Structure 1
Amino acid sequence: MDLYGIDLNLLVAFDALMKERSVTKAGIRIGRTQPAMSAALARLRSLLKDELLVRGPQGLQPTPRALDLAEPLARALTDIQRTLDFTQAFDPATSSATFTIGLSDHPTFALLPQLVAHLTKSAPDATLQVRNFSARDDAIDLLDAGEVDVTIGVPATKTGRILTQPLFEERFVCIVRKDHPAVRRTLDLDAFLALPHLLVSPENERFGHVDAALAKKGLQRGLALTLPNMYAAPLLIARSDMVATLMAGVVAASGHADELALLEPPLMLEPIPFVMSWHRRNDVHPAQRWFRNCVAGVAPDLRR
């Protein structure tokens, strides 16, 4: 018998008929009319080439063929129902699920420790895998390929298949070594431009937010060093006469804040937003939704 040619709803009808031994009661059990159940029984008889249920003094009586089928089909339907029910619920306390998250550099340092602590407590048998990415649109490639469940980084190019949720923002600060001879309590624009600059560019460009703000004023700074890793910058600044304009959270998490002077930038710089992104195909999955809630739950501690 070709399974692909069978209307599986007939098996549900058969199970109800075997339990109720009445066309009317079986219809009530599964929400079908009496004529619909009679039609289903007729189709079952034709499909299985057996009467299956015949009328007797106590209602419908099963044939030997029907009795042979009743238990295995009921068990199969129960397994299917259990499988479908499982996809609609998620119990983190007993789950051994694996979650994969794509992180750019800053969220790796700033958010990952809190997330690991939360998962250890709430889902002790779950596994967390981390993928790193640098270019913002790499997040889209990872999500499209199904290599990660969510990503956290600066917003990528907008696309309808990728959903996002804002998590936190980071403001910019200027940093120099504490005993820098050319800097006092404040940093004006002239002093700022006179210093050699360190530029952090994860995408290996020589033009960042500061350069864009300066260009609007017809100004340009002198770059002494560019590098892709923002967490290397605080130590380099502490050991040099350079200035760097970094996110405040990077300085705080670097371990070198006590060696640095933090100053307000002499330019208007918009804060950097960080968002959580996920693919639309994962949007309603219970485990995925729970994991995203975990990420969002630890992120507010990072608001500055």
Structure 2
Amino acid sequence: MKEEASFEIEPGRRLDESLLRSLYALLVEASVSRGAARLGIQQPALSRHLKALRQLTGDELLVRVGNRMVLTQRGESLVAPTRRILADLSLFTREDFEFSPDTARNNFRIAAGDFLPRRFYEEMIRRVRTAAPDSVIDLRSLGHRFDHYKQLGEGEIDVAITIWPDPPAHLRSVRLFADEFVCVVSKDHPLAKTGLTLEAYCRAPHLSSLEQLPGQGTVLDALIAGIGVSVHTAMRTQYLGLVPPILANSDLIFSTGRRFAQQIAADHPLVVLPFPAPIKPIQYVLTWHERTHKNRALRWFRGEITAAAKAITDR
């Protein structure tokens, strides 16, 4: 019978910021060598930290399976709290109190969808790059199942832009701009010639984005349900870059905001049609966590995002 591992904690050693950063690197990379490269330290130094962490946690954290290392169950459970603790520690840095964009080297992490108008991204990136040339913009997808709300709480992202109008109560938010719903079809679509009625809209096959939660639909699904309408969704995709060629070569209808619709119709053989019934507009919402609300760097970044949204709506 295999004996359980015995751990002896190094006298006087406590879990400090250095060990926390080493722990996170080890958990994320699942490798001592890659973890050391991530931290910019020598591999033997991280090996010593791993030994200390195993002593402090009473768990192996990383174990070898075949020719690779994998996290133990305890190791997996420590990823999120370690990320959150490190994110909270970053709020105490001197940089937060003396933020100056022209000298800052921040990594601004934003989750958003490609349903936003291209001009918004162009304006936001131009503003941030002009004012803070040494900082980095980390733009990532929203994911599914509202993962971005969890990521905000755990410090994995700084802000998110969504089209769900009511974020959870523990998050802060501001509305960036509204956009009316329209429909997009191929220029050869019969409805491009006859016009779009509500009856024709309900009969037609539709192209849609993926549901955030299975069975609960998208924002559009919720809005059209509010006016007593349901449609047949023939295809769903998370790749909105595929929407224009799919529409141009099919009989599908795509419902989206006017700005995004006009953008893709300008580049492809598509036609923008008015939505065939009164419906609430899309609301683009900037969301962040209370824990970063007073962070000066992130407050500045949020200001640039709202300014970019205002710039495209003022044109």
Q: TM-score range by the shorter chain?
A: 0.5 to 0.7
Structure 2 residue 236 is the aligned partner of structure 1 residue 226: yes
Structure 2 residue 264 is the aligned partner of structure 1 residue 254: yes
Partner of 2:76: none
Partner of 1:289: 299
Given that 2:192 and 2:271 are in contact with CA atoms closer than 8 Å, whether structure 1 keeps it comes out as no
Q: Which string of whole-angstrom CA distances, capped at 9 and with x for unpartnered residues, describes residues 183-219 of structure 1?
A: 4252112322332222223527574455556656765
Given that 2:192 and 2:273 are in contact with CA atoms closer than 8 Å, whether structure 1 keeps it comes out as no
Given that 1:167 and 1:300 are in contact with CA atoms closer than 8 Å, whether structure 2 keeps it comes out as yes
Q: CA RMSD in A?
A: 2.9
1:169 counterpart SS class: strand
Given that 1:100 and 1:148 are in contact with CA atoms closer than 8 Å, whether structure 2 keeps it comes out as yes
Structure 2 residue 131 is the aligned partner of structure 1 residue 130: no
Structure 2 residue 185 is the aligned partner of structure 1 residue 172: no
> Alpha carbons of 1:213 and 1:267: their partners in 2 closer, same or farther (altered >3 Å)?
farther
Partner of 1:36: none
Given that 1:183 and 1:191 are in contact with CA atoms closer than 8 Å, whether structure 2 keeps it comes out as no
For 1:201, which of 198, 210, 222 is the aligned residue?
210
Partner of 1:150: 159
In the aligned structure 2, how far is the partner of 1:128 from the partner of 1:182? 41
2:286 counterpart SS class: strand
2:152 counterpart SS class: helix
Given that 1:170 and 1:303 are in contact with CA atoms closer than 8 Å, whether structure 2 keeps it comes out as no
2:193 counterpart SS class: coil
Partner of 2:104: 95
Given that 2:167 and 2:173 are in contact with CA atoms closer than 8 Å, whether structure 1 keeps it comes out as no
Provide the aligned length of Structure 1 versus Structure 2: 222
Aligned 1:1-304 pairs, distance under 5 A: 87-107=96-116, 109-135=118-144, 137-155=146-164, 158-184=167-193, 186-203=195-212, 205=214, 207-208=217-218, 211-212=221-222, 215=225, 220-254=230-264, 257-303=267-313
When normalised by structure 2's length, the TM-score is 0.61
Given that 1:140 and 1:156 are in contact with CA atoms closer than 8 Å, whether structure 2 keeps it comes out as no
Gaps of 5+ in 1: 1-82
Partner of 1:18: none
1:105 counterpart SS class: coil
1:130 counterpart SS class: strand
2:276 counterpart SS class: coil
Bigger Rg, which one: 1
In the aligned structure 2, how far is the partner of 1:217 from the partner of 1:289? 38
Identity fraction in percent:
26
Given that 1:105 and 1:134 are in contact with CA atoms closer than 8 Å, whether structure 2 keeps it comes out as no
Q: Which string of whole-angstrom CA distances, capped at 9 and with x for unpartnered residues, describes residues 152-200 of structure 1?
A: 1123754343111111122211111112234425211232233222222
**AA at the equivalent of 2:205:** P
Q: 1:265 deviation in Å?
A: 1.4
> Alpha carbons of 1:94 and 1:218: their partners in 2 closer, same or farther (altered >3 Å)?
closer
Q: Which string of whole-angstrom CA distances, capped at 9 and with x for unpartnered residues, describes residues 20-39 of structure 1?
A: xxxxxxxxxxxxxxxxxxxx
Given that 2:184 and 2:271 are in contact with CA atoms closer than 8 Å, whether structure 1 keeps it comes out as yes
> Alpha carbons of 1:192 and 1:298: their partners in 2 closer, same or farther (altered >3 Å)?
same
In the aligned structure 1, how far is the partner of 2:218 from the partner of 2:164? 16
In the aligned structure 1, how far is the partner of 2:181 from the partner of 2:298? 33
**AA at the equivalent of 1:143:** L
> Alpha carbons of 1:187 and 1:155: their partners in 2 closer, same or farther (altered >3 Å)?
closer
Gaps of 5+ in 2: 1-91
